[in-house]
Structures are given as structure tokens and as C-alpha cells.
Structure 1
């Protein structure tokens, strides 16, 4: 498994963590993710996403990107998400707020429409470096579609989940790399990933 670096792509609730755990257990690849809770102050368990300002959300996105790169700084891994996710979630929450579509309390994270033409280009300014890292870092890109309905208390709605998947799909197309769509039960997904790993390893050994 040396050199095998898998990124699991998918929206909230698509089963990334469950599959990453299964891959670690069965294939021996360490499961990694951005370290720590999604907070400006990791030590403050009272902090909530709806308390963030747009500026804090931008800062947290960049910090989480750095955390994930640090976690992925190893010869082999399966990443519960990818560096792309940090920017996708950040960009969508700047547009839709911290609890998009759920009818929960208003929050400060959502950009005013008049601010978007200025702030969003600044938010995406670091992305070329993110794209180049993703192109070089990941051996396999595995997309997990959302096959299980959202729980009633989920912090997002189906529209946000669909927009997450759509943006991830667009960004992956820009990487000019194959993306393998994996569906079914955890066991079926694990079997499919194992076969992808075997094929990729075999092809790599002949080049």
C-alpha cells in the first residue's frame, strides 16, 4: 500500500467517515482528516458555527486546509474528505449561512449579496495552489454519492448537500483526473475500493 493516497469525496452524510474507518481496518491505510473540531478556538466547546462572521469563516477554511495537509503528510493514507472540501463548504456557507435551509436561527456567516462580488474572489484566491496539491497528492479520487436520507436534526438540507456534490464534481473535473463513483453498502463500497487499489497498484508497477 506504499504510495496509495485515497481521497473520499462526498457531501455531508455520504458515508466518508464510515468507509474511511473500514478501509483503515481492512486495507491498513491510515484514515486521516483535518484535525480538531470546526471552531475558531478549539478549546471553547461553547462556540457554534452560527456565531462566525464571514471573515472568521474564511480564516477557518484556510486553517482547516492547512490542518488537512499536515494530516496527509505521509506516504499512504485514506482521507476522510479532501482539501477540496474545506473550500467547498466555506464557499457554500458564505452564500447560504451556517445552517443552510434548516430554518434554524439566523447567523452572521452569510455574506450580504452586495458583498459577494468582492469577498468571494478573495476567498478563492488561494485555490490554484489547492488544486495543484490535490492533483499531486491523491492517487485515487473516490466519490461517494449521498444514498442515505438526512437525519431530522442534520445541520444542512438536501439542497445544500446537492450543491456540495455539484461543486465537488466541477472541481474534480478541473483536476483532469478520473473520479471513481462508488455506491452500495459499506461492504460493497469497500470491495470496490479494494479492487481500485489493486488495479492502480498493478498498473503503477508496470509503468
Structure 2
């Protein structure tokens, strides 16, 4: 039973366990962000120069892609809550496709960096760039696979407004992925 499914209580989407996972994942990223900031403070010149090699336009596009994806997943959850079961797979498919689009965009960006000799061992900034965006990319890949599984099951009408805990768990994770990018984008691409 999802948190708050009892009458007269507020409701947290999904199951309690997913929120423990999301919280733990957020703490790990917070520690990584703090370590990045500490290293940036120790070598501001290196970080300032290296950050200029990033493609801000591509990072901005990635942000737009993930915001659109989260919006589509939110629309799928709203449609599911209203038992608009024909709409749920369409919105989930949009979430899958935008997840794949993000993976493609990040692949282009990695290829740009690697083709000019920028690697994780180039300097402290790029070590963090590849670590942070790489771990985030793994989250995007996992989330996209999970959204694809939801899409397949939603096409078969496996979920309804009274049986939506699994889709809500996946959607909550997907929103975490989006939130992490909203922190990563300014941290890496917009810093001065």
C-alpha cells in the first residue's frame, strides 16, 4: 500500500522504500557536489579554464530535454490517477524518447571532448565532469529502461488509478534524475 492510501491521510507517491532509495541517492550526490566544490576552491584557475571547454548550448539543450521528459512523466501520472488509460502510454513513450534523446546528446558531448583529447585524467575539473555526468547518465539509462517497462505494461492497461504504486515509484526516481541535472548544469556549465 502506498503511503497515505488510508482515507483522511495525505499521500506520498509510490512506496516508502523508494523514498529511502531516493533520499540515499540524493545524499550521495550531495557529497559528490560538496567534494567538487572543495576541489574547485582548491584550484579555481584550472576549473575556470577547463569549464570554458564545455558546450553550454548542449548543456542547456540537455536541461530542456530532461524538463520536458519530467513534464511528460508527470502528465502520465496525472492521466493514470484519472484513469485516462489511453493517454498514459503516450506520455510514457514521450518520457522514454526524451530519455533516449538525452543519452544521444550526452554521447555527442562526450565524443566532442574525447576527440580533442579531453579525458577524465586531463585535470581535476574534467575528472569531476566525467564522474558527475557519467553517474547521472547511468541514472538516465536506468530511468529510461524503467519508463520503457512502464510503457509496455501501460499499453496492456496493467495500471489503474487504484494500482499505480509502481509507476509512481519510477516517476519519483525520474524526477530525482531531473533534479540532479538541474544542480549539475549550473555547477558544471554556468560556473564563473
Q: How high is the TM-score relative to the length of structure 1?
A: 0.31
Q: Which structure shows the higher strand fraction?
A: 1
| Larger radius of gyration between Structure 1 and Structure 2 | 2
Q: Which structure shows the higher helix fraction?
A: 2
Q: How high is the TM-score relative to the length of structure 2?
A: 0.33
